[in-house]
Amino acid sequence: MLSIQSWLSFYSANYAYVGKLVGRFYDENGAPTEALRQAEAAIEEGLKFKAESDRWKEQFPPCNSEWSSAKGSRFWCSRQSPAHLKRMHVLYHSCHSPFHFVCPRRAQGKSHPF
């Protein structure tokens, strides 16, 4: 649904408004239908989830990773990362299935409980 919202934002910014199309989202009077209200609610929910996910990724940025058939998987924190970001951890979180390798950030003067 966020892709649709992004498209709508682009369309509104780049094209002149000419009216509403009667159908799934607007009735013959131009009033929103239940389908439009449900779509808008889904977009709002998606925006909230994305904001939460973005905050989580800011605090727990993903580690670098690579895979090859010869060596398998390898995960690491960037050498350019500040010292407090160089320790890799495995987190279990409902947004990531089944686990997520991260290089956690620390708030000034605080450490993570792992």
Question: Which is more confident, 75 or 7?
Answer: 7
pLDDT at residue number 88 = 53
Judge whether residue 22 has pLDDT over 50: yes
CA 78, 83, 88, 93 torsion: positive or negative? negative
pTM attached to this predicted model: 0.59
Per-residue pLDDT at 33 exceeds 80: yes
At residue 29, the 3 state secondary structure works out as coil
Q: How high is the pLDDT of residue 5? A: 92
Q: Say if residue 91's pLDDT is above 60.
A: no
What integer pLDDT is reported at residue 114 of this predicted model?
42
Q: Which residue has the higher pLDDT, 26 or 98?
A: 26
Cα 104 to Cα 87: distance, rounded to the nearest angstrom: 8
Helices (H), the chain: 2-14, 34-59
Distance CA 108, CA 28 (A): 57
Q: Report the interhelical angle of 34-59 vs 2-14 (nearest 10°).
A: 100
**Which residue ranges make up each domain of the chain?**
22-59, 61-114
Q: Are 98 and 86 in contact (CB under 8 A)?
A: no
> With contact defined as beta carbons under 8 Å apart, do 60 and 77 qualify?
no
CB 32 within 8 A of CB 25: yes
**pLDDT tens digits, one per residue of 34-81:** 999 999 999 999 999 999 988 887 877 777 788 899 989 887 776 665
